[in-house]
Chain A
């Protein structure tokens, strides 16, 4: 199901939690919404998932307007949405199977059908035979699996994940993301993931919107945003991605030796470019030396995005030419100092 947001506003007193957000979330894909705490992402997800009404603006599921539904219609619509949360929010008074049964019970599904469906769902999330387990005996990953099964019980078109992996360790996060990706493909779901972890966006999402102070500052395919981050907040998120962090000690000693000789550059390039010897070509054509400090290649929705942190040493004029040539060949160049 396609989701369209038009000029959404939501304020709490004088705080504009969501400020004029318009987004188109395509059907049948995983869409990430990333932002720091306080960026407005929790409010945004409560608006899109119809838990809260916007002050102004419109929300459409496909072509149906859903932000102004009457109470009964709202309840019917909510039953077609699945939602999972950071703290799982499972019912401690119910065991795993009874938790998964809840949305079916409230929708009035007959008992024997519920049992059948619950069994299917337990299997789907890899918890076959654990139905009778009390919630407190499950690990974090298992709890989130129960929550996912519960969210899928009513065959929803949309799944909202509100920081769904933030309480999990990296390994469990990966397994939950893999499960969500798999389910998304198998059931043609539209998944909206709210997160503050760029790793989640990189590993699971096809599209991303970056939120800051209640507004969208950047939006597009993840691969494009990774290759060409347009806002400082996005660059900050990218810089905090694990593999590119430099050894602080090394950085210091290098800075001392090269501080007179040239700036520091971050090069980002995508796809086919990762296989080409662009740098050595540049080095041959212009009178510069390129000194690579750190680098790496990340896999983003099946494509590669490379990042190199390097110095370009030479006459100012030659360096400028080299940078221009790099940019011309499709590489995004950021100079230190320009980068936040």
Chain B
């Protein structure tokens, strides 16, 4: 029992660190792309500096990356992991494909959250002489914040799922534990325990995300 707890605890810490770093990096990658997608879009959809060609190309790239099966993307990105973190297995190595896989998803979520901002408010900000940068930083992001928080919550939950999948190809964390111990060494208790921890993680993230988002709405 003690060993089981130690194992699961270690795997949980790995999953949490993978998911946190991957969330951070996918936001760093996805946020600018999402904002770019939105501001270069058509004026009718809240675009403030319409650039149809750029918008179209970017949109397609994001779509292709989004529909790429994660397992295959991860294998394809092994060399990149090796360049960036020096290895292609383990927790650290998995953060690279996780971040890249989640980035287009984040971009779309950010884009749709920002599109929800009332075009009238954007017009008012323009009429007052805001620069494009000021509109993004002082209007679009704060106005979209509750939707952004919900989107980020969803991203974290997806990343927990992806990180478990990464376990199948030696990625570390709870998924890895469930497969190596639970499946390959016939330890259903380890499998069950790992799955329960994953479910609990997802639930906790969802509840916290909802709370933050609701609190923001209540202040408006």
Contacts and interface: CB of A to CB of B under 8 A. Distances in A.
A134 to B, nearest CB: 5
A78, A81, A94, A106: most-surrounded residue (chain B CB, <10 A)? A106
A130 B121 CA distance: 21
A83 B142 contact: no
A106 B127 contact: no
Contacts of A76: 129
Interface string A50-94: 010000000000000000000000011111010101010111111
Given A106-B130, A106-B134, A93 B123 contact: no
Interface residues of A, number: 28
Contacts of B138: 102, 105-106
Contacts of A160: 127
Given A93-B143, A94-B142, A134-B219, A102 B121 contact: no
A161 B129 CA distance: 17
A154 B121 CA distance: 18
B69 interface: no
B168 interface: no
A107 B129 CA distance: 8
Contacts, number: 64
Contact of A87 (B120, B130, B219): B120
A209 to B, nearest CB: 21
B215 interface: no
A193 to B, nearest CB: 16
B127 A83 contact: yes
A91 B143 contact: yes
Interface string A126-144: 0000000011100000000
Interface in A104-161: 105-107, 134-136, 150, 154, 160
B53 to A, nearest CB: 20
Contacts of B142: 91, 93-94
A83 B128 contact: yes
A93 B122 CA distance: 13
Interface in B75-91: none
B212 to A, nearest CB: 14
B126 A92 contact: no
Nearest to B145: A93
A102 B121 CA distance: 12
B124, B139, B145, B219: most-surrounded residue (chain A CB, <10 A)? B124
B123 A89 contact: yes
A91 B127 CA distance: 14
A103 interface: yes
Contacts of A75: 129-131
Nearest to B127: A83
Given A105-B138, A107-B129, A135-B220, A92 B143 contact: yes
Given A106-B131, A134-B219, A90 B121 contact: yes
B203 interface: no
The interface size bin for chain B is 20 to 34
Nearest to A50: B127
B129 A78 contact: yes
A307 interface: no
A173 interface: no
A85 B129 contact: no
B127 A78 contact: yes
A234 interface: no
Nearest to B124: A89
B133 to A, nearest CB: 10
A154 B134 CA distance: 17
Given A94-B142, A106-B134, A134-B220, A89 B129 contact: no
Interface string B118-158: 10110111111111001000110011010000000000000
A190 interface: no
Contacts of B127: 49, 51, 78, 81, 83, 160
A102 B143 contact: no
Contact of B129 (A91, A103, A150): A103
B123 A51 contact: yes
A154 B128 CA distance: 9
Contacts of B121: 89-92
Closest 5 CB pairs of A and B: A79-B129, A78-B129, A89-B124, A93-B142, A89-B120
Given A93-B142, A93-B145, 8 more contacts: A75-B130, A78-B126, A83-B128, A89-B124, A102-B125, A102-B138, A106-B138, A135-B220
6 contacts: A78-B128, A93-B145, A94-B142, A102-B128, A105-B138, A106-B128
Interface of A: 49, 51, 75-79, 81, 83, 85, 87, 89-94, 102-103, 105-107, 134-136, 150, 154, 160
Interface of B: 118, 120-121, 123-131, 134, 138-139, 142-143, 145, 219-220
